Chain A
Amino acid sequence: MSGDLTTRTSGGHPAAWPLGLAGVVLVIAGSFLSWSYDSSILGDLSINFYPGSLQILAIILAVLGLVLLLIEKGPLESRLGQWLDATLGLRALGLMLTLYMALVLIAISVESDGLINVNPGGYVSLVGAVLLLVGSRLLPLRQLRDLGQARLPGWFEILTIALMMAAILFAAAFALGLTEAWAFVLCLVFITGVITALFRTGVMSWFGHVAQRHKKVLTLAAFVVAFFFPFTQGGSDANMSIATQVLIFAATAMGLNIVVGLAGLLDLGYIAFLGSGAYVAAMLSESAFATIDWHPPFPVVVLIGACVAATLGLIIGSPTLRVSGDYLAIVTLGFGEIFRLAMFNLDGTNGPLLTNGPNGIPGIPELQIGNFNFGDEHTVAGLELGRFSNYYFLLLLLIGFVILVFARLNDSRIGRGWVAIREDEKAAEAMGVNVFGLKLLAFAVGAFLAGVAGTIKAHQDVAVSPDQYIFLESAFLLAAVVLGGMGTIAGVLLGATILKLLPEKLRFFSEYRLLLFGLLLVLMMRFRPEGLVASRRRQLEFHEEDEQLAVAVESKLAEEAK
């Protein structure tokens, strides 16, 4: 990275930098001391000069702060100073570190009766964090060069991708390994802190450019990371079970993303398609409670389940897709409920015996494809892979398939038609876009994919019953799409992961789960309506008056097209 230096706004308080440095040093020093009198909580923070894992997280944050300080003024300044906004990064980091330490003290006092149990080290680190926060506030703001112009050797960029992915894998394994809710929350604060600091310094936007340049490498790396995840779990079923839940949820959300994100249709009953796939698989399974005495091999079941779901999609879609907007939402909402009630009543008394009514169909045997039984355990290279790992790999394949369908559709002529419909249905029609046909197609494809996911879900859950397919599930799916970023792949995967993982790990919040979740959505809509990962077009939709953004977005889209 070389080139002309840009003008830097000078100023700032002379004590700012030393203050920040002192803060960093104090945080690190404090982390080597004991934080808590009680050794049984938060993974033992009570031993001097032997930091526990939460203390190591604080040290990592502090070291990141040190690096930023050195970019601000010091040996790294000449090379990185003109590109990275260390000041903004430090401000974010200072804030998050203070929050982190404050939460640590709260956690200690909540878990072991009172602040009396906090040892001096905890206070030292807290003071350090506050100093860093104050110092960073006093630092001057900087003028920077556009990171989009930064060019590093290709191998370095690919290495960054690899490192980033490894960090994600490591962080995921670490976070999932935390059994205490407080420790998990603190870990989330840590991760948020690192990510916001990287965002504010501009590292993330640089990474965005890199990801754009090496799209294939990034996709491959993401799959490799996902593939290796089970090997980090040492045969533990608890986390793998959550992971498979997340994958099913993510695959379904990706299917919904076609309907909502690409075609722009609001579907509030999408869970019914997942349910119909699951019910088909259950009815055709070799469970003692299965209602149909025909047990074809699983690939056939998948096809039937998906086709049943798609047919339902067509049946519900063909009369309702002529209405739009709110009406469609109401009709699909009703359809979701009709599905659940139908499953509830097809019990032999109120209707034909298909679903056993409220009892559902339990005892669905493990999946069997050829000679491979998904209930078996395997040992690969000395590492144990349990039942859930088998399902995990299958679901990974499914997600790959769904993403492929999504991406191909998005880039096709059909995708362009959907864009036109989303933008202006009437104009699209005048352009010769078959509006009704394309909407129906989106509905059917989405339903088909959910049906496929459902057939796997039935076997993985061992039982299906109507109460698994309530409206709330549809709402969560939709929330995953909106939260993550409509129309994007990475965003929706992220949104689905967050929405499924958090409730599982934060069970002690379960009573407030919906409250927190509502709060989260409100905050998102206020501060980042386009979702965590914004599709470039959506970004424009929510910030229409911003002409600069508009031009930037279009040039990026053009860059992508090349």
Chain B
Amino acid sequence: MTAMLEVRDLEVAYGKIVAVKGISFSVEQGQVVTLIGTNGAGKTTTLRTISGLLRPTRGEILFQGQRIDQVPAHDIVTMGLAHSPEGRRIFPRLSVEENLLLGAFTRNDQPAIRKDLDAAYELFPILGERRKQPAGTFSGGEQQMLAMGRAMMSRPKLLMLDEPSMGLSPIMMKRIMTTVTELQRQGTTILLVEQNAQAALKRADFGYVLEVGKIVVKGTGRELLVNDDVRKAYLGED
């Protein structure tokens, strides 16, 4: 069986600075896979390259067996790969509903879009209550919910979340992480990038630890949680 997403020997550079130095990993159908690491480890760069916003200098990216590393970003979304970017990047002056509808930009099936809109409101009731409100007036956690709901509107097979817990209160973070599990249960495969290793590893089927552009440790979420190196470096334990 081929993996849903397979990254082989990926290298990405900004000019002369190589941010990702030949990493390989894969995401199987139905899994939650997490990439953890500190600032500047290359996590965000990896996600942006997968979704076509950056081009790799070496290596291959396969989505459902197809090469996508030279496919334009908008076609990648159409293929079923959604990206909820770092910093959420919701459209602050547009209403919740308009934000969600823009998430469905690549689709053309109006009735189904309406249905998914309702599904998003069911997943995050607060969005439904404030569907006419400009998204910029929301709190960080609500904006994160919107960003996730928006990404789901393209009906992705694989959802990539870039630091969904960034800047959130512990309660809100928990809420977001529960949603990740909920989305997995509904059948979405998830690639999760996090600095909050503990929260991410608890829910991940498989995890990779990135350090300055290279994968240094990998294993199931449970294995990594008890791995001494990981505990020292990322879980703040001696």
Interface residues of B in 49-93 (CB under 8 A from A): 51, 53, 72-74, 76-78, 83-85, 89-93
Contact A416 B101 (CB under 8 A): yes
Name A551's closest neighbour in chain B (CB-CB): B133
Contact A426 B93 (CB under 8 A): no
Contact A544 B93 (CB under 8 A): yes
Which residues of chain B are within 8 angstroms of A547 by Cβ–Cβ distance?
Answer: 137
A288 interface residue (CB < 8 Å to B): no
Which residues of chain B are within 8 angstroms of A540 by Cβ–Cβ distance?
Answer: 93, 134
Known: A550-B133, A558-B132. A431 touches B103 (CB 8 A): yes
CA distance A541 to B134 in the complex (A): 11
Contact B92 A423 (CB under 8 A): yes
B95 interface residue (CB < 8 Å to A): yes
Which residues of chain B are within 8 angstroms of A555 by Cβ–Cβ distance?
Answer: 132
CA distance A550 to B130 in the complex (A): 12
Contact A429 B105 (CB under 8 A): no
A216 interface residue (CB < 8 Å to B): no
Known: A417-B105, A555-B132. A426 touches B89 (CB 8 A): yes
Which residues of chain A are within 8 angstroms of B72 by Cβ–Cβ distance?
Answer: 434
A427 interface residue (CB < 8 Å to B): yes
B102 interface residue (CB < 8 Å to A): yes
Interface residues of A in 409-461 (CB under 8 A from B): 413, 416-417, 419-420, 423-424, 426-435, 437
Which residues of chain A are within 8 angstroms of B51 by Cβ–Cβ distance?
Answer: 430
Contact A432 B105 (CB under 8 A): yes
Which of A413, A419, A430, A553 is the one whose CB lies under 8 Å from B85? A430
Which of A419, A544, A554 is the one whose CB lies under 8 Å from B133? A554
Known: A419-B94, A426-B85. A433 touches B137 (CB 8 A): no
Contact A416 B105 (CB under 8 A): yes
Interface string of B110-142 (1 = CB under 8 A from A): 000000000000000000000011101100000
CA distance A434 to B75 in the complex (A): 8
CA distance A432 to B74 in the complex (A): 4
CA distance A427 to B102 in the complex (A): 10
Which of B53, B85, B102 is the one whose CB lies under 8 Å from A420? B102
CA distance A550 to B136 in the complex (A): 10
Which residues of chain B are within 8 angstroms of A537 by Cβ–Cβ distance?
Answer: 93
Which residues of chain B are within 8 angstroms of A433 by Cβ–Cβ distance?
Answer: 74, 102, 105
Which residues of chain A are within 8 angstroms of B89 by Cβ–Cβ distance?
Answer: 424, 426-427, 430
Which of A413, A430, A541, A557 is the one whose CB lies under 8 Å from B53? A430
Interface string of B147-183 (1 = CB under 8 A from A): 0001000100000000000000000000000000000
Known: A413-B105, A555-B132. A420 touches B137 (CB 8 A): no
Known: A433-B74, A434-B74, A550-B134. A426 touches B150 (CB 8 A): no
Known: A424-B91, A426-B85, A433-B74. A551 touches B103 (CB 8 A): no
Name A432's closest neighbour in chain B (CB-CB): B77
Known: A424-B91, A431-B150, A434-B72. A551 touches B85 (CB 8 A): no
Contact A420 B105 (CB under 8 A): yes
Given contacts A419-B94, A434-B72, 8 further A-B contacts (CB under 8 A): A413-B105, A419-B102, A420-B91, A423-B93, A432-B74, A432-B78, A432-B154, A553-B134
- 6 closest A-B pairs by CB: A432-B77, A427-B89, A432-B106, A423-B91, A434-B74, A554-B132
